[in-house]
Amino acid sequence: MNISGRLKITEKDGGKITQKGRIKCSDAKDIQTLEAEGDIAFKSISGVNAKLRGKIKGDSIDIQNLEVDGTIRIGNVISNICVMKLSQHNSIDKIVSKKIDIHIAEDRTSRIFTSLVNNWDLGKANNNKVDIREIIADTVSLEQCSCEKIVCDSLILHGRCKIKELIYKEKLEFDEMSKIEKIVHENGGI
C-alpha cells in the first residue's frame, strides 16, 4: 500500500497505527478500522470498516462497511454496505454487496449550467462518471453510472444512468434521464 497523505489503522487486537506524509506498507489485511486520505494505491484491503478519501486505486477491497469519497479505480469490491461519493471519472470491475449507494459529489458548477446539462439528450455525450462492469446486491442506488449487468432485489436510478442488463426481484425505480436496455423481472417478465 502506498499513500501520500494520512493513514490511521486500528487492528483487531486494538493496536493503532497513525502516519502522515508518504507512507509505504504492506497491504492492509484483517483490520478493524482503516482511515486513509490522499493518493492511495494498494493490491488488497480486507477487514471490518474502511473510510477512504482521495484518489483510490487497487485490485480488491473486502470490507464489511466501506465508505469512499473521491475517485476510484478498482477491480473487485466485496462488502455488506458500500457507500461511495464520487467525482471525476471512476471505474469498478465488480461489486458484491448487500447495500450499495453510489452518488456523485456536488459539483461547483452553477445550477443553471447543471440544469442545461441534465436536459441534454443521453445519446449526445457520455455524462456517466462511474463505469461498472457488474453489480450483485440486495439493494442498489446509483447516480450517473454506466453498468453492463446488475443482479439485485431492488434498484433506484437517480439520473443519467445507462444499464445494459438488469435482473431484479422486487422494486425498480428510474427517472426519464436513465436508460435500461434489457430488463428481466425474476418472476418471469421481460
Domain boundaries, given as residue ranges, for the chain: 87-107+127-190
pTM of the complete model: 0.85
**What is the tens place of the pLDDT at every residue in 13-60?**
888 888 888 877 667 888 899 999 999 999 999 999 999 999 999 999
**What is the tens place of the pLDDT at every residue in 101-160?**
999 987 645 344 555 555 554 444 446 689 999 999 999 999 999 999 999 999 999 988
**What is the tens place of the pLDDT at every residue in 137-147?**
999 999 999 99
**Residue 188: helix, strand or coil by DSSP?**
coil
Is residue 66 within 8 A of residue 81, CB to CB? The reply is yes
Name residue 48's amino acid.
V
Cα separation, 65 vs 51, in Å, equals: 9
Cα separation, 164 vs 188, in Å, equals: 18
